[in-house]
Amino acid sequence: MRIIKDSIVSNEMIYLRKVSIVMCCIIFLYAITSHRRNTVWGDDITLWTNTLDNSPEKPRVYNNLGLIYLDQKNYEKATVALKTALEKSISLALKAYPALAPPGNTIDERTSLPILKRAPHSAEIYNNLGNSYQQQGKWDEALACYEKALVLKPVYPKAHHNRGVIYRLKGQVENAITSLQEALRLQPLYPEAYNSLAMALQAKGLYQEAHEWYKKALILRPDYFNARFNLALFYSDRSEYQHAIDQFHTILRSHPERAEVYYNLGNAYQRSGKLPEALDAYHRALLLDRQMIHAIYNQGIIYNQQGNYDNAIESFRNVLQLKPDHLDAYNNLGNAYHQKGLLKEAADAYQHALTLNPNYTASHLNLALIYGEQGEIEKALSHLNHASRVEPTHPHLTAIRSHILERAQEKRSHAHHHR
C-alpha cells in the first residue's frame, strides 16, 4: 500500500522556499546582466567603443581603440583613432594649463613642445601613430612621429627601436644600428630589438654579427617567430640551405598554418636541388593559400625542369589567371609548349610577353630560336637583333646567332640541291 505523507509544511520550510525563490531571482538577474555584459564585451572593438560612450574625452580610450585597429590591420581607422587620442590629450593639457593656449589654435601651435609635454600619454600616442604610418608604408610620417615621441620621452626603448626599423627601411643603415643599440642599452632584454639589429647588420653586410644577434633574440625567446623566420632566410640567402630547412621545420612544428613558411621551405629545397621536396612544400603552401602566385609559378619551373610539361603548362596558366601581366609566366609557358613541339602555341605565349614588354629579352631570344627552326631567318634575326640592342652582353646571343646562321645555310643548301 502506498503511504501518503502529510502535506503540512512548517513555517521554517516556508521561509526556506522564500529564500530559494529570492536567490533564484538574483541568480537569474545576474545571469541576464552577465549575458548583456558579455554581449557588450564580445570583442575588443565593442568594449572600447562602449567605453568611449562613457568616457568620450579620455585619450587613453582612443589610444587603446587605435591599438586594436592596428592588431586588426585596419590602419586607416587606427590612424584616425590615434590622431583623435592626441587631440584629446592636447585638450586636457590646455584645460589644465589655460595659459598655454595658442593664439591661433593651429595644428602646429597645438602640437608645440610645451603643450605636448603636459599632454597625458602623448609620447606613447605618437609612437603608436608612427606604427600605423609604418604599416601603411608612410615612412617619413612614421619617422616624424617616432622623433616626436623621443623628444617627449628620450628614455623610450620602443620608440628608439621603431625609429631604427624605419631607418633600415629607408636605407639609412648606420642610423638604424645606432638607434637600435640605444634601445638595447635602455632595455637589454628586448628580443624585438635584437632581431631588428640583426636585420640592420645583415643589410650592412656584417653577416657574422647579424647571425649572433638573431641567435641572441632566440635565446631570449625561443618561440619568437620573426627572429627564427629571419634566421632561416638568412641561411637561405647565404646558401646554407640545410640550416635554413631545419629552421623552417622548427617553425612549422608550432606554426603549421603559415603558408609563407612552407613557400620559403620550398625555395630552400629547390635551390638545394631537392625538387620533389620543394614541390611538396609548395603544395602545402597552396593548401593554405590557393592564390600564392610565387608558389604556383615555382611549381611550374620545377615541372619544366623535370620534363613534366603538361603540369608546367597548367601551373603557368594558373599563374596567368591570377596575374595576367606576369611576363615570366608567359615566357615559361612558351618554353613548356616549345619543349612539347607545339611551336605555334609557344610563339603565341612569347608574343604575349612582348605585348606586355616589347624589350623582354628572353622572349625575343626564344622567338628567334623558333623562327630559326622554322626556317624564317629574317624574323629570327629581327628578334635576335632586338635582343642584342636591349642586352648586348647576354651570354646566349652568340650561340643563338650561330644556330640561326646554320639553319640559314641548311636552307640555302636544301634549296640549291632541289634546283
The cell for 7 is 502535506
Look at residue 73 and tell me whether its pLDDT is greater than 90.
yes
Task: Output the pLDDT for position 47.
Answer: 62
Place of cell 603643450: 115
Look at residue 25 and tell me whether its pLDDT is greater than 50.
no
Q: How confident is the model at residue 45 (pLDDT cuts 50, 70, 90)?
A: low
Mean pLDDT of 328-335: 97
- Segment among 50-54, 100-104, 237-241, 398-402 with least mean pLDDT: 50-54
DSSP conformation class of 99: G
- Segment among 30-44, 126-140, 357-371 with least mean pLDDT: 30-44
Look at residue 7 and tell me whether its pLDDT is greater than 70.
no
User: Please, are residues 209 and 189 in contact by the beta-carbon 8 Å criterion?
Assistant: no
Tell me which of 103 and 9 has the higher pLDDT: 103
Task: Output the pLDDT for position 373.
Answer: 87
Listed in order, strand segments (DSSP E) in 325-397 are none
User: What is the distance between the alpha carbons of residues 94 and 116, in angstroms, rounded to a whole number?
Assistant: 10
Task: Output the pLDDT for position 109.
Answer: 76
Look at residue 104 and tell me whether its pLDDT is greater than 80.
no
Mean pLDDT of 175-189: 98
Tell if the pTM clears 0.85, that is, is over it: no
Mean pLDDT of 152-172: 98
User: Please, are residues 368 and 338 in contact by the beta-carbon 8 Å criterion?
Assistant: no
User: Please, are residues 282 and 262 in contact by the beta-carbon 8 Å criterion?
Assistant: yes
Look at residue 413 and tell me whether its pLDDT is greater than 90.
no
> 258: left (phi > 0), else alpha (psi -120 to 50), else beta?
beta
Look at residue 43 and tell me whether its pLDDT is greater than 70.
no
**Which residue type is seen at 369?**
L
Look at residue 378 and tell me whether its pLDDT is greater than 60.
yes
User: What is the distance between the alpha carbons of residues 35 and 53, in angstroms, rounded to a whole number?
Assistant: 20
Q: How many CA atoms lie within 13 A of 311 on its CB side?
A: 13
Mean pLDDT of 159-173: 98
| Most confident range, picked from 23-27, 49-53, 228-232 | 228-232
For the stretch 138-149, pLDDT in tens is 999 999 999 999
Enumerate long-range contacts of 313-318, CB under 8 Å, 24 or more apart.
Answer: 313/337, 313/340
Task: Output the pLDDT for position 70.
Answer: 95
Q: How confident is the model at residue 8 (pLDDT cuts 50, 70, 90)?
A: very low
- Segment among 154-163, 209-218, 378-387 with least mean pLDDT: 378-387
Q: How confident is the model at residue 411 (pLDDT cuts 50, 70, 90)?
A: low
Task: Output the pLDDT for position 1.
Answer: 31
User: Please, are residues 316 and 333 in contact by the beta-carbon 8 Å criterion?
Assistant: yes
For the stretch 265-300, pLDDT in tens is 999 999 999 999 999 999 999 999 999 999 999 999
User: Please, are residues 25 and 34 in contact by the beta-carbon 8 Å criterion?
Assistant: no
Per-chain mean pLDDT for the chain = 87
Place of cell 606604427: 131
Look at residue 20 and tell me whether its pLDDT is greater than 60.
no
Q: Which residues contact 407 (CB under 8 A, 6 or more apart)?
A: 372, 373, 375, 377, 380
What is Dmax (Cα atoms) for the chain? 132
Q: How confident is the model at residue 110 (pLDDT cuts 50, 70, 90)?
A: confident
- Segment among 26-35, 317-326, 354-363 with least mean pLDDT: 26-35
Q: Which residues contact 291 (CB under 8 A, 6 or more apart)?
A: 322
User: Please, are residues 194 and 184 in contact by the beta-carbon 8 Å criterion?
Assistant: yes
Q: Is 411 exposed, middle or buried (0-12, 13-18, 19+ CB in 10 A)?
A: middle
User: Please, are residues 214 and 241 in contact by the beta-carbon 8 Å criterion?
Assistant: no
C-alpha Rg value of the chain to the nearest Å: 34
User: Please, are residues 225 and 217 in contact by the beta-carbon 8 Å criterion?
Assistant: no
Q: How confident is the model at residue 312 (pLDDT cuts 50, 70, 90)?
A: very high
DSSP conformation class of 187: -
User: What is the distance between the alpha carbons of residues 124 and 107, in angstroms, rounded to a whole number?
Assistant: 19
Q: How confident is the model at residue 112 (pLDDT cuts 50, 70, 90)?
A: confident
Q: How confident is the model at residue 42 (pLDDT cuts 50, 70, 90)?
A: very low
